[in-house]
Amino acid sequence: MDSKDGEGRPYLGPALSVQTDTGEFFAISCKPVGRGVVSYPCKAREMNRAMEQGVRTVRYDPDLGLEAYHFSGIIQIFPGHFHEYYTLGFLERGLQHTICRGIDCLSEAGDLLLFAPGDVHSCRPVDGRSLDYGGLNVPEETMARYVREITGEASLPRFREPLVRRSELTAPLRSLHRMVMEREGAFCKEETFLLLLSQVLDRCTAGGPTAAERWEARLTADLCAWLDDHCTGHVSLEELSRMAGRSKYSLIRAFTRERGITPYSYLMAARVGEAKRLLEAGTAPAEAALEAGFSDQSHLTNQFKRLIGLTPGQYAAIFRERGGGRE
């Protein structure tokens, strides 16, 4: 796999690991999710073969505060996962099947893909054919700053649909993508991004949430924050239900409707995230399993491999090659 970030910055996007021009590896920051989301089975051997193919190029742009990525010849299947940043993407070659927020999409060249932070999505190439695609990963703080420039309010947009077919906005997105990849000047990039984002806001964003939706969003956000902080300990559905002031079924339904995954799936993703941090710091897999809240190393390995695509040992080896934990 020939993946690179010309700036040597940590990659934010969907690859399992990314190699920089200097040969260093960085792990993904996307959060994988498990049950409750459609995912596509793939044998370990097939996944490893897929990961070895294709060219994955990433470039961080300090002028705009975002990154551009380009993947070529990719046949990897990405099961259900979500990111903590916005993604504006396009397909250059091939057909991609995507499920996002329960919406089933088939994208091709000319379509515009839009994912907001927390949008659960799975992606796979159709008929096993390789894909060429690219896009921009935009952190929330960058998005809020530019939305304020356009609207006067530092709000975070919500997209109506994850796919806009044959969009007129795909061309300016690809133009901006090229500018970032080729390190063009700040003036033209910022001008293009503002014009593009203003059109995205006008054409592709949803109206404001209802009072009930805002209440459910706050409730779910609070529960997610609590699960992030307490994922290494014992967590029960009874406890979550009591905290939310709702029945167990009502809680599961509201949480899943808001996040696209069940509370248990989120808990497993949080524990895998904690295990990743421990492994990056040099903790042995068996010890990392217990510290992250798993019953044993086998439980960690099963969840880790299902969500990340690597075993804990393989993941830890990436950081041993760098001589220790994350810098």
| Cα-to-chain-centroid distance, residue 97 | 16
Average pLDDT over residues 187-206: 92
Enter the tokens of residue 87.
């993604």
In tens, the pLDDT along 133-151 reads: 999 999 999 999 999 999 8
pTM for this prediction: 0.59
- pLDDT at residue 324 in the model: 46
- pLDDT at residue 227 in the model: 95
Higher pLDDT, 84 or 211: 84
- Round the average pLDDT of the chain to a whole number and report it: 81
**Does position 48 have pLDDT exceeding 60, yes or no?**
no
**Does position 21 have pLDDT exceeding 70, yes or no?**
no
The answer for residues whose C-beta is within 8 angstroms of residue 231's C-beta and 6 or more apart is: 267, 270, 271, 273, 274, 292, 293
**Contact between residue 294 and residue 300 where contact means Cβ atoms under 8 Å apart:** yes
Q: What percent of the chain has pLDDT over 70?
A: 80
Average pLDDT over residues 283-312: 91
Local confidence band at 167 (pLDDT 50, 70, 90 cut-offs): very high
- pLDDT at residue 282 in the model: 93
Q: How far apart are CA 232 and CA 209, in angstroms?
A: 33
Q: How far apart are CA 120 and CA 76, in angstroms?
A: 17
In tens, the pLDDT along 213-269 reads: 778 888 999 999 999 999 999 999 999 999 999 888 889 988 988 887 889 989 999
